[in-house]
Amino acid sequence: MRSLLLPLGLACALDPSAVRAQQHDLIGYWHNWNDGSAPYMALSQIDDRYTVIDIAFAEPLAGTSHLMTFSPSGTPQSTFIAEVAALRAQGKKVLISIGGANAPVHLDSDQERDEFVSSMLAILDSYGFQGIDIDLEGSSVAITGGTIGTPTDATILRLIDAINSIAEAYEASTGTPMMLTMAPETAYVQGGQSAFGGIWGAYLPVIEALRDRIDILHVQLYNSGSMYGIDGGIYTQGSADFIVSQTEALLQGFGTVGGFFAPLPPEKVAIGLPACPSAAGGGYVSPGLLTAAVAYLRGAGPQPGQYQLISTYPGLRGLMTWSINWDAAPGCAAAYEFADSYEEIFNLSTTLTDVVAPTRAAYIQDGELIIPELTGQSTVSFFDSMGRLCAHAVLQNGKSKLPSNLLRGMYSITLTDYRVAPMRVLVP
Residues designated catalytic: 137
Q: How far apart are CA 253 and CA 229, in angstroms?
A: 11
By the 8 A CB rule, do 196 and 257 touch? yes
**114 to each of 120, 137, 162, 198, how far by Cα in Å?**
10, 21, 7, 25
Residues making up the chain, counted from first to last = 428
**163 to each of 50, 68, 108, 121, 123, how far by Cα in Å?**
25, 13, 15, 11, 14
Q: How far apart are CA 8 and CA 426, in angstroms?
A: 9
Give the bridge partners for 424, in sequence order.
412
Q: How far apart are CA 414 and CA 425, in angstroms?
A: 11
Instruction: Determine how β-strand 259-261 pairs with β-strand 254-256.
Output: antiparallel
By the 8 A CB rule, do 373 and 361 touch? no
Q: Is 218 helix (H, G, I), strand (E, B) or coil?
A: coil
Instruction: Determine how β-strand 25-31 pairs with β-strand 318-322.
Output: parallel
Q: How far apart are CA 267 and CA 351, in angstroms?
A: 22
Q: Cβ of 16: how many Cβ atoms within 10 Å? A: 9
Indicate the helix (H) or strand (E) that contains 161.
helix 154-174
Cα radius of gyration (the chain): 22
Cα 138 to chain center, whole Å?
A: 22
| Burial per residue of 300-336, b for 16 or more beta-carbon CB atoms within 10 angstroms, e otherwise | bbeebbebebeebbbbbbbbbbbbbbbbbbeebbeeb
Apex 26 CA angle, 21 and 27, nearest 5: 110
Picking from 324, 298, 201, the residue whose alpha carbon sits closest to that of residue 243 is 298
